[in-house]
Structure 1
């Protein structure tokens, strides 16, 4: 494993990754899980900022079909997020020698993080940070994805994506075509929340075209673990970009609370 940048082979794909800050043997790691059209590069300068302000390591990778990773097979199955959590994330953490981590996901990435935390028993995962997550399909979000399809076909969205993805058509259609499939209207993975056993921070903008506050309510109503929520008035689908300073400060504080709890000297009295 090379801490910095490289390629790791997982589940038959070569996946690009980037790392910032301390190595896993020196500090906990924030694992970044990108959105439906994201990649390592599209996190831009934020991973370095997170590493600097939290004192933690930061690891990002591009899923198959995204960024500089090898292409994925289309059409992508409707349970592609569940498969990513089940088949890829754990082996990737193994390969990159992550020892203790916080999963930080955006949109599809937040969903994958939530599924992993609720379906895989992994003591390395100490907390969840979810930016604009979705645990079930909403008509509003599907309408926004149809609009993105029109922008891809008739506008300049493809040209923009081609700057960041070796296979932009795979990146776009793998995401878009799954979400607009009629069968996706009944997609729901909210039962994963029932099994969270780590603290979470959910960040949601009130002007997000892809999801509503119903997703946050699902977290609040179903998790038995401590759950914090930050609602950003007027913010859209990318809180870490639209409100970078505010979101970063909240994440830094959340990670500090996690580490304080982890390092607390808890006295357990002896039984009589």
Structure 2
């Protein structure tokens, strides 16, 4: 993977700068893959996967930290109901403008998967492929139980330092943005039901059968309601982070899908 060109970028938005990184193979096709991270994630927490993805597909891969996460600027307030769908017109739209992206493939992990759906729905003429990994399509009891367990874990001594390593002084905001939104009463009825029929491109939905934050009902919902052709891949023995737990399988599925 040494032949990959790597570059770091700072993307201006109305509310602050976003940090982005790109991995560019030689003679890559014009259509890039854009990565959207999970609720506690950032560019750095994708680790080696973006480089592996660029190498396996031969495509340019771009990942960015949403506002309030990673190396991006502090979020000016708190996330509101609708933040999943709104990302398409906020950070993602700013990224597209900065990189002059026309057609694109979008790949989202966990809540980033829901945001990827929103991006595919918002830019139906430009999104040529949608890949979701461990995405939540609605609020499930299993999701809430997993979040409650994680919140208790982060309350233990020293655990917040794990988040601070990646988010610095924004770590507490990142944790609260996840826990408080998903466990809030106003979020209980949230789903992607209204957005999914607007998706027109092919969908690949990857989901581990040991995912502690969501059952197979999520990829089933994505496939049932999406407006384009879809394929679901169940990953036996896999938890919530397939690109780390079963990277080779994920890469093989993505390469096959993009063909």
Please give the range of the TM-score, normalised by the shorter of the 2 chains.
over 0.9
Q: What is the aligned partner in structure 1 of residue 211 from structure 2?
A: 208
Give the C-alpha shift of residue 216 in structure 1.
1.3
User: In structure 1, how many angstroms separate the alpha carbons of the residues matched to 2:26 and 2:176?
Assistant: 35
Asked if 1:15 is matched to 2:39, the reply is no
Runs of 4+ with >2 A deviation: 22-27, 121-124
Inter-partner Cα distance in structure 2 for 1:222 and 1:235: 25
Query: Where do 1:70-149 residues align within 5 Å?
Result: 70-118=73-121, 120-149=122-151
- Which protein is bigger by CA-based radius of gyration? 1
- In structure 2, the partner of 1:186 is 189
**TM-score when scaled to structure 1?**
0.88
1:61 and 1:227 mapped to 2: Cα distance? 26
CA gap of 1:26–1:78, structure 2 versus 1, over 3 A, is same
Distance 1:227 1:185 in 2: 27
Q: Give the drift of 1:180.
A: 1.0
Task: Provide the C-alpha distance between the structure 1 equivalents of 2:106 and 2:221, rounded to a whole number of angstroms.
Answer: 19
Q: Structure 1: how far apart are the matches of 2:139 and 2:99?
A: 33
Q: Aligned partners of 1:17, 1:248: CA distance in 2, in Å?
A: 22
Residues 128 and 23 of structure 1: CA distance in aligned 2, closer, same or farther (over 3 Å): farther
| Cα deviation digits, residues 157-192 of structure 1 (max 9, x gap) | 311111111211111111111111122111122221
What secondary structure does 2:155 align onto? helix
User: Unpaired segments of 5 or more residues in structure 2?
Assistant: none
The aligned runs of 1:1-272 (5 Å cut-off) are: 4-22=7-25, 26-118=29-121, 120-166=122-168, 167-255=170-258, 257=259
What is the RMSD of the two structures over their aligned residues, measured on CA atoms? 1.9
Task: Please give the secondary structure, in 2, of the residue aligned with 1:164.
Answer: helix
Deviation, structure 1 residue 23? 8.6
Task: Point out the more displaced range, 130-139 or 152-161.
Answer: 152-161
* Pairwise CA distance, 1:98: 1.6
Distance 2:110 2:159 in 1: 18
- Stretches of structure 1 that go unaligned for 5 or more consecutive residues are 258-272
